[in-house]
């Protein structure tokens, strides 16, 4: 726990965006992953350095599953993991930033692993995130494992070098979506009060830590987070995300984020492109 795991094992290019520090197997399909969270982060720590954002939990759990697929199940590094579902419920009392970087243990239980031959082709796992023995969050994640050749066929020739992202429209005011930097705003005004265009800036150093041929799931979840802030009262904050990913969100087509609910109820977020639904997310909030 004195260094991060190799960044390639969690599909990150930047060491600074790699949060995992080790792992060990605790059962046939059970693992314990260690992680450390920084005390400051442009996206995942509040601007006053007092609280970790629940989406940092999401990224940590995502990295944990990716790491274990490569190390515990021998999935080659050139394979891609395509998200299908990601559900996370956090407990804000344990998300406070302390005087030292937070040390976490992520307990992972793979409940479904499907194979073709000796290689996993899909998996589901449950995660419990612990901090000094206290439960920070629980999660349930499902994804498919896709080899390089299959992924190329699946993407129909789309690569980071061949796909041109749509121009980035002017964003909403950062404070309206609980952001400080305008570059972190992922919503632009739409044609209705409950609908916004997704802003996809491929130069963003966190969402596009490395070149991609599609919109990453973490950016879609950030869009759900920001849309929720536009629907809730002061003092409320998102604490749970239950997301289903239906298809890839393409870089070269405008995407739209629509919401319903709020005012004390769960917020329903839907992302669309053309006539297709890209993802759906139910966001639960709590008073701050």
Dihedral of alpha carbons 179, 40, 203, 247, sign: negative
Return the SS3 of 96: strand
For residues 80 and 17, state if they share a domain: yes
pLDDT in tens, 2-33: 799 999 999 999 999 999 999 999 999 999 99
Same domain (yes/no): 106, 204: no
Is 244 found in the same domain as 274?
yes
- Residue 287 binned pLDDT confidence (cut-offs 50, 70, 90): low
Strands 119-131 and 187-192: unpaired
Tell me: do 147 and 25 sit in the same domain.
yes
pLDDT of the residue at 25: 98
Residue 48 lies in a domain: yes
What HEC string does 73-95 produce? CCCCCCCEEEEEEEEEEECHHHC
- Helix 217-229 × helix 54-72 angle, to 10°: 160
Last-in-domain residue among 120, 154, 188: 154
Do 139 and 188 belong to one domain? no
E-strand ranges in the chain read 20-25, 30-37, 80-90, 102-116, 119-131, 134-146, 187-192, 195-198, 214-215, 236-245, 249-250, 256-261, 267-273, 276-287
* 264 assigned to some structural domain: yes
Residue 288 confidence (pLDDT) above 60: no
Q: Is the pLDDT of residue 111 over 60?
A: yes
Residue 220 gets the label, from left (phi > 0), alpha (psi -120 to 50) or beta, of: alpha
Question: Could you tell me if 97 and 221 lie in one domain?
Answer: no
Using the 3D structure, point to which of 154, 187, 204 is the last residue of a domain. 154
Within a domain: 41: yes
Calculate what percentage of the chain has a pLDDT beyond 70.
Answer: 99
Q: Select from 125, 154, 183 the last residue of a domain.
A: 154
* 34/149 same-domain check: yes
Q: Which CATH number fits the domain that encloses residue 37?
A: 3.10.129.10
- The reply to whether 143 and 197 lie within a common domain is no
**Residue 169 domain-assigned (yes or no):** no
Instruction: State the Cα–Cα distance between residues 198 and 154, nearest whole angstrom.
Output: 24
Cα–Cα distance for residue pair 258/4, rounded to 1 Å: 38
Shared-domain flag, residues 65 and 183: no
The model's pLDDT over 147-197, given as tens digits with 9 standing for 90+, comes to 999 999 999 989 999 999 999 999 999 999 999 999 999 999 998 999 999
150 and 218 assigned to the same domain: no
Going 180 to 185 to 190 to 195, the CA torsion angle's sign is: negative
pLDDT beyond 90 at 263:
no
Residue 167 inside a domain? The answer is no
What range defines the domain where residue 241 resides? Answer: 174-287
Average pLDDT of the chain?
95
pLDDT in tens, 203-222: 999 999 999 999 999 999 99
Other Cβ atoms closer than 10 A to 1: 10
Residue among 70, 140, 128, 139 at smallest CA distance from 104: 128
Is position 62 within any domain? yes
Q: Which pLDDT score, from 0 to 100, does residue 157 have?
A: 87
Verify that 47 and 150 share a domain, yes or no. Answer: yes
Domain presence at residue 116: yes
Structural domain total, the chain = 2
Whether residue 113 sits in one domain with residue 54? yes
Each residue's pLDDT tens digit, 222-238:
999 999 999 998 888 99
pTM of the model: 0.96
Domain-embedded: residue 164: no
């Amino acid at each position: 726990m004195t260094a991060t795991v190799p960044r390639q094992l969690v599909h990150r290019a930047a060491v600074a965006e790699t949060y995992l520090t080790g792992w060990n197997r605790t059962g046939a399909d059970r693992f314990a992953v260690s992680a450390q969270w920084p005390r400051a982060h442009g996206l995942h720590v509040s601007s006053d350095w007092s609280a970790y954002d629940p989406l940092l939990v999401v990224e940590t759990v995502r990295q944990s599953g990716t790491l274990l697929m490569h190390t515990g199940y021998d999935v080659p590094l050139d394979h891609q993991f395509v998200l299908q579902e990601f559900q996370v419920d956090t407990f804000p009392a344990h998300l406070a930033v302390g005087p030292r970087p937070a040390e976490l243990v992520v307990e992972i239980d793979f409940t479904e692993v499907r194979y073709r031959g000796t290689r996993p082709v899909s998996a589901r796992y449950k995660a419990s995130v612990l901090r000094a023995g206290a439960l920070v969050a629980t999660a349930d994640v499902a994804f498919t494992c896709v080899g390089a050749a299959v992924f190329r066929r699946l993407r129909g020739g789309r690569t980071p070098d061949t796909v041109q992202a749509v121009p980035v429209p002017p964003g909403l005011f950062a404070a309206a979506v609980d952001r400080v930097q305008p570059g972190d705003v992922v919503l632009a005004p739409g044609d209705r009060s409950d609908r916004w265009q997704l802003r996809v800036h491929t130069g963003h150093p966190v969402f596009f830590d490395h070149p991609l041929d599609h919109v990453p799931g973490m950016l879609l979840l950030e869009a759900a987070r920001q849309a929720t802030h536009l629907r809730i009262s002061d003092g409320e904050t998102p604490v749970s995300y239950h997301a289903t990913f239906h298809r890839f969100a393409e870089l070269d087509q405008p995407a739209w984020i629509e919401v319903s609910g709020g005012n004390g109820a769960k917020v329903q977020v839907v992302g669309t492109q053309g006539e297709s639904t890209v993802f759906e997310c139910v966001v639960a909030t709590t008073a701050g």
